[in-house]
Amino acid sequence: MGGLLPDWSYNSGGISKPSDVAHHWDEVSVYYQMPIDGDVWLEDPLSSSYPPSIAFKAAQMQDNEKAILFLREIREMVFLQKKNITRFDFLELAAKKVGLNIEQFKIDYEGKGKDYFEQDLKLAKEAKVRGFPSIFFINEAGNSEFVYGSKPYSVYESAILKLCPKALKINYDKTWEFIFSKYHSLTLREFSELSETPKHESEEILNELTKSEKLKKLTTKNGSIWELKDTAH
């Protein structure tokens, strides 16, 4: 967890108040072709990125796989549903949905989760990380490759192959059933990338699955997300 917004003493890149983030998110949504609604910063702005970051560390203490699902849940909450995820009731709701022990989650959120978050901040500082994503690939010999920013998948692949030239790619099932069994909610771009299907074709597939009630579609002003019907909110 990066802790880029401790509070609103923040001022960087033309962003110094919540309303600046609203405009930035709407621009980013178009650029990355991902549904992100910046209106949360106008309607119920977050005061800090620390509470959800600490919550993720608390979730990790219980179960790393569930923590990843938890992270996805709170991202959808803030990016799509315009929910202020600094509030514990929303964090608790996400924790319940992914099957975390709520009592333990609350204890860790108020206790050791903060210590683990501080360790993340310390690690980022030691590695001189200033932005995210910042990904370090390190092989057994200690050689490393660094990839900064959102890059095409091939860039990450190349970094791995430089360090592990004999690494082999594993093929996977690209049917919608398999993809949605692995990821219960996907945006158009995510499904298109994972299924290796052109975007217009992907959209037709997803809309058809929605019509046949296999998927549920949530539409925001900047795009849509689809989720399996039996895991719908």
Output the domain CATH number for residue 193. 1.10.10.10
Could you tell me if 80 and 29 lie in one domain? yes
Could you tell me if 105 and 29 lie in one domain? yes
Report yes or no on 2 lying in a domain: no
Could you tell me if 37 and 117 lie in one domain? yes
Could you tell me if 110 and 199 lie in one domain? no
Could you tell me if 105 and 31 lie in one domain? yes
CATH number at residue 28: 3.40.30.10
Which pLDDT score is estimated for 229?
Answer: 84
Could you tell me if 31 and 117 lie in one domain? yes
Residues 94 and 106: their CA atoms lie apart, in Å, by 12
Which pLDDT score is estimated for 233?
Answer: 44
Could you tell me if 118 and 35 lie in one domain? yes
Report yes or no on 170 lying in a domain: no
Cβ atoms of 156 and 135 within 8 Å: the answer is yes
Q: 147: buried, middle or exposed (CB in 10 Å: 19+, 13-18, 0-12)?
A: middle
- pLDDT tens for 94-131 read 999 999 999 999 999 999 999 999 999 999 999 999 88
180 is in which domain, residue-wise? 176-231
Could you tell me if 35 and 86 lie in one domain? yes
Could you tell me if 189 and 225 lie in one domain? yes
Report yes or no on 115 lying in a domain: yes
* Residues 6 or more apart in contact with residue 46 via CB below 8 angstroms: 5, 18, 40, 78, 84, 85, 86
Per-residue pLDDT of the chain (233 residues; tens, 9 = 90+): 999 899 998 777 778 899 999 999 999 999 999 999 999 999 999 999 999 999 999 999 999 999 999 999 999 999 999 999 999 999 999 999 999 999 999 999 999 999 999 999 999 999 999 888 999 999 999 999 999 998 989 999 999 999 999 999 999 999 999 999 999 899 999 999 999 999 999 999 999 999 999 999 999 999 999 999 875 44
CB neighbours of residue 193 within 10 Å = 15
Report yes or no on 151 lying in a domain: yes
Our count of domains for the chain comes to 3
Report yes or no on 218 lying in a domain: yes
Residues 181 and 101: their CA atoms lie apart, in Å, by 23
Report yes or no on 7 lying in a domain: no
